[in-house]
Structure 1
Amino acid sequence: LVFGYEAKGSNDVSTAEAAMESEDSAEPTDDQPSRAALTLDGESTLASPLTGKVIPLSEVPDPVFAGGHVGAGVGILPTDGQVVAPFDGTIIVAPASGHAVGLRSSDGIELLIHVGIDTVNLAGRGFTTHVKVKQDVRAGDPLVDVDLKVIEEAGYSLATPVLVTNARALGEVTLDAGDTVTAGEPLLRVTPMREDASSS
């Protein structure tokens, strides 16, 4: 929240994801600041959409994600296959394959949850999607159910990037969890840019 990031050579990023990135994650210009920058008034804590082991983004086995090209965040190695909404918001990406979900919070934070690496190649096998684009969700609502065994048996990594895709327009994204996390517990903290820092 990478949807089709072909320029970087990753097979994993779908066209829907690229659309999200190009529309909403670009750095704001002086005459057209991002919607998120206009509405994020204070620090926000984002809950985890998954239960599992937390890993640095740099350890996600895909250079597009690991290099931070899609957004700032972490990876999760899920131990449970249910993906839930981390906050109240609106679905902005929900490909039919079910391998990724993008949400926008009421204060403009855009989050991408990309379940596994190269899982777009499964063409929906092992994924049951419960949401569609423009649907409003509440924190804790089920987004996708994933059969983790299907991913593993197909030879794909379970590493799941959880990314603030418009981080450059918002400020700093930091980890707010330990080595493991349960869905619904704090995962990331977003601290807005101070005006004096952004203008210097």
Structure 2
Amino acid sequence: MEATSIVAPIRGLIKLSQDSSESLFSSNALGQGVVIWPTDAQLVSPIAGTYYQQNDHNIQIQTAFGRWLIHIGLNFAGMTQTPVKYMFNDGDVLDANTPLAKIDWEQVTKAHLDVVQEVALLNLDQQATIIEFTPGNYQTGGIMGKLNLKGVREE
């Protein structure tokens, strides 16, 4: 299988997961990937696959490149309502760059909770790697690299 493009799920500064300020992400306990310090509210699908809402701040994606997790913020506990409004149904098969959710970061800030406002995109089963990625600022839907299955050499 040849590599496929992966797009930025949200506008912001994107770095490798080990650069996260949150140990859950930087330790790669949930898998390797990228973390994003968002500067926007619109979240889109980073890759084609089948999408499932796991809870109020997690989306799991089943793809040809393994299982991926979009982890939206940390520590939403204590909020009266979730700041994430989903725009898809469980089991929807989506193309890359399809609107997934809107995140009300202002609601998070107003709650005065110790919420880590990072979005993580992590490869849960470590089947693939992100290649041709350069840390930096990306626009929502902008190509940030390619996915390549581990053990498959790029032609």
Query: Normalising to structure 2: TM-score of the pair?
Result: 0.82
Q: Is contact 1:117–1:158 with CA below 8 Å preserved after alignment?
A: yes
**Alpha-carbon distance change, 124 to 137 in structure 1, aligned in 2, over 3 angstroms:** farther
Deviation string 1:54-83 (CA, Å, 9 cap, x unpaired) is 133223233222111111111101111111
Write the distance in 1 (CA, Å) between the matches of 2:132 and 2:24: 20
Give the alignment partner of residue 146 of structure 2, picking from 174, 189, 199. Answer: 189
Give distance in 1, aligned partners of 2:134 and 2:97: 18
From the two aligned structures, give the one with the greater helix fraction: 1
Contact (CA 8 Å) 2:65, 2:147: kept in 1 or not? no
Residues 1:163 and 2:148 are matched in the alignment? no
Equivalent residues, number: 151
SS at match of 1:122: coil
| Residue in structure 1 matching 2:41, options 81, 104, 119 | 81
Q: What secondary structure is seen at the aligned counterpart in 2 of 1:95?
A: strand
Among 16, 24, 29, the alignment partner of 1:64 is: 24
Contact 2:65 2:149 in 1 (8 A): no
- The answer to whether the 8 A contact 1:111-1:165 is kept is yes
User: In structure 2, what is the equivalent of residue 26 of structure 1?
Assistant: none
Q: Report the counterpart of residue 126 of structure 1 in structure 2.
A: 83
Give, in angstroms, the shift of residue 121 of structure 1: 5.0
Name the TM-score, length of structure 1 as normaliser: 0.66
Q: Residue type matched to 1:131 in 2?
A: F
1:102 corresponds in structure 2 to 60
Checking the alignment, whether the CA contact within 8 Å between 1:104 and 1:110 is kept in structure 2 is yes
Counterpart-to-counterpart distance in 1, 2:97 and 2:16: 24
> Cα deviation per residue 1:151-188 (whole Å; 9 max; x = unaligned)?
23333121111112222x34x33462441011111224
Gaps of 5+ in 2: none
Rate the CA distance shift 1:77–1:135 in 2: closer, same or farther, 3 A.
Answer: same
- Larger strand percent: 2
Which of 175, 180, 189 is the equivalent residue of 2:137? 180
> Any gaps of 5 or more consecutive residues in structure 1?
1-40
**More RCO (CA 8 Å, sep 6+):** 2
For residues 85-108 of structure 1, the C-alpha deviation after alignment (integer angstroms, 9 at most, x for no partner) is 1222211x30342x1212123x24
Range moving further from structure 2, 120-129 or 52-61: 120-129
The RMSD of aligned alpha carbons is: 2.3
Q: 1:195 to 1:84 in 2, by over 3 A?
A: closer
Distance 1:119 1:60, change over 3 A: farther
Identity %: 17
| Greater C-alpha radius of gyration | 1
Structure 1 residue runs of 4+, over 6 Å off? none
1:195, distance to aligned residue in structure 2 (A): 6.8
